[in-house]
A and B are shown apart, each in its own frame.
Chain A
């Protein structure tokens, strides 16, 4: 068996999600190669070569891959697929965008968002927003998989795999990259943070969200998250949304502030190691999954907690 992993990066930094995809690939077994497709992505290729367990890093450095649009990257992966039994990527927005195209072009189903590897063809994946866990078996020769990063521990970086250039020109693009807008958010990235502090609608305004949640997150070195209600109300940017339709996180500590705990939200955080809930409603469903619950006025309790740390 041989596995090709599509690296997730921004042309300068390799995302931690890739090291987690490598961990999942190690459980599948076989030689693991990593593909870095980008433009001016030499640093990323070198970082990928250091990942433990990687046999070889394939580098496609060309303008065509500068923004890693789904069309050229999927063509490149299909071009390389002949030599591999498994094509793997992290289930990030980029992986989710590219990999189903690869699967369709190879005429196989993709196994989406796996949380466990049972054998080289058998995987576990959550369905119904995590309310059920399906065990599925791929029956085709080629297996296309996306990996839920929060379910695997990143491999170390003591390796030294060789780099190999891949020269492949994808067909002329029908899609043109226009722009990218990255909101400035201090602190760690939500999907990979060790601690997450999330706020809900009970915060009442964007100002209060900032005033109450941010100091606590800063004190803990935590990433900030939000419920859909808080995002819809404009209290927080939408890429902070934790839940079935937002990000799925599994930090060591998740602190939910003023979040009632709708099933769509729980789907995004209930695999956190320790969950703390602070809310004024003792009947809120969030207390059903919380390891520690504190009932009371968040406007008093959260600043008190920030001060106590």
Chain B
């Protein structure tokens, strides 16, 4: 079985976000960029499926600038076999990403696409669902458990109020939730080996997909600041203030 794993290069989750003062966006210059945390979970799950002799080949794909190569090398070091960089310097939105991934999926013919439930930069939570819709494949979003047997996937999903289990035919699209697994660190020997694994570059414009955004970003601003709070010295004072000052009790 072949698995396709889309990965995104995003501002590292531990970096404090700075909004540019001119309102044009978030300052990404010279900041540490990393693989989207949900995508690490997707790569890990694919590698686990191969270790369980269910998957035979893992292809990682990323869409973005030349630097997204680093993100793909990380996926290769974690255990992916080959990588595809769909190169573009434009900012492209989930719909265009889904259309590009559809082309790649049709070329590669995977039995399963595993990807993160959302990217921690745009927080959209759309691409997996869109890809599934465009391919006409079943979807299982927010997965916390994936089992593959007899050409079927049984996926447990994290939903409001609990868990839901679905069974679906393959090929299918699965998006990962945090609880699915704990991603491994790439060891130094694997990082070295990853440098020799194949990484193909494709020009995004050559795929015949409209890349221009349909949702225009008018401005990006800092959220309203909370007014500074105060420290209280005792439970009695806290209860008193919640009752008389904040009036929430």
Residues in A neighbouring B215, C-beta threshold 8 A:
109, 111, 136-139
Query: Closest residue of chain B to A182, judged by CB?
Result: B162
| Given A103-B130, A301-B235, CB of A109 within 8 Å of CB of B214 | yes
Query: Closest residue of chain B to A301, judged by CB?
Result: B235
| A90 CB to nearest chain B CB (Å) | 10
Q: Is A133 a contact of B94 with CB atoms below 8 Å?
A: no
Residues in A neighbouring B94, C-beta threshold 8 A:
100, 109-110
Residues in A neighbouring B126, C-beta threshold 8 A:
100, 103, 109-110, 112
Residues in A neighbouring B125, C-beta threshold 8 A:
96, 100, 112-113
The distance in angstroms between the C-alpha atoms of A249 and B213, with both chains bound, is 30
Q: Which residues of chain A from 57 to 105 have any CB-CB distance to chain B below 8 Å in the complex?
A: 67, 69-71, 74, 92-94, 96-101, 103-105
Stretch at the interface among B51-59, B65-73, B137-145, B197-205: B137-145
B16 touches A (CB below 8 Å): yes
A27 touches B (CB below 8 Å): no
A153 touches B (CB below 8 Å): no
Q: Is A245 a contact of B95 with CB atoms below 8 Å?
A: no
A275 touches B (CB below 8 Å): yes
A155 touches B (CB below 8 Å): no
Q: Is A274 a contact of B242 with CB atoms below 8 Å?
A: yes
- Bitwise interface map of B from 158 to 189 toward A, beta carbon under 8 Å scored 1, else 0: 11111111111100100001110000000000
The distance in angstroms between the C-alpha atoms of A50 and B26, with both chains bound, is 43
Q: Is B235 a contact of A308 with CB atoms below 8 Å?
A: yes
The distance in angstroms between the C-alpha atoms of A126 and B17, with both chains bound, is 12
Secondary structure dominating the interface of B: mixed
Q: How many residues of B contact A (CB 8 A)?
A: 78
| Given A97-B129, A290-B229, CB of A133 within 8 Å of CB of B221 | yes
Residues in A neighbouring B17, C-beta threshold 8 A:
128-129, 131-132
A276 touches B (CB below 8 Å): yes
B232 touches A (CB below 8 Å): yes
- Bitwise interface map of A from 129 to 147 toward B, beta carbon under 8 Å scored 1, else 0: 1111111111110000000
A183 touches B (CB below 8 Å): yes
Query: Closest residue of chain A to B227, judged by CB?
Result: A291
Residues in B neighbouring A233, C-beta threshold 8 A:
none
Residues in A neighbouring B223, C-beta threshold 8 A:
126, 130-133
A208 touches B (CB below 8 Å): no
| B249 CB to nearest chain A CB (Å) | 7
| Given A100-B129, A101-B129, A274-B246, CB of A127 within 8 Å of CB of B123 | yes
Q: Which residues of chain B from 145 to 164 have any CB-CB distance to chain A below 8 Å in the complex?
A: 154, 157-164
Q: Is B141 a contact of A70 with CB atoms below 8 Å?
A: yes
Pick the contact of B16: A71, A96, A263 (CB < 8 A).
Answer: A263
A210 touches B (CB below 8 Å): no
Q: Is A273 a contact of B214 with CB atoms below 8 Å?
A: no
B30 touches A (CB below 8 Å): no
Residues in A neighbouring B29, C-beta threshold 8 A:
none
Q: Is B235 a contact of A175 with CB atoms below 8 Å?
A: no
The distance in angstroms between the C-alpha atoms of A307 and B122, with both chains bound, is 44
| A105 CB to nearest chain B CB (Å) | 5
The distance in angstroms between the C-alpha atoms of A183 and B128, with both chains bound, is 27
B216 touches A (CB below 8 Å): yes
- Given contacts A109-B214, A180-B162, 6 further A-B pairs with CB under 8 A are A105-B133, A127-B26, A131-B223, A133-B223, A175-B139, A309-B239
Residue positions of B touching A, CB distance < 8 A:
11, 13, 16-17, 19, 26, 38, 93-95, 98, 120-134, 137-142, 144, 154, 157-169, 172, 177-179, 213-223, 226, 229-236, 238-239, 241-242, 246, 248-249
The 8 A-B residue pairs whose C-beta atoms are closest, nearest first, are: A100-B129, A131-B17, A104-B130, A100-B126, A182-B162, A101-B133, A291-B229, A174-B138
Q: Could you show 21 A-B contacts with beta carbons less than 8 Å apart?
A: A70-B132, A96-B129, A97-B129, A103-B130, A104-B98, A105-B133, A108-B95, A126-B123, A126-B223, A129-B123, A135-B217, A135-B218, A136-B216, A177-B164, A178-B165, A181-B164, A228-B178, A252-B248, A291-B246, A292-B242, A294-B235
Residue positions of A touching B, CB distance < 8 A:
67, 69-71, 74, 92-94, 96-101, 103-105, 107-113, 122, 125-140, 174-183, 189, 191, 195, 220, 228, 238-239, 244-245, 247, 252-253, 263-264, 270, 273-276, 287, 289-295, 301, 304-305, 308-309
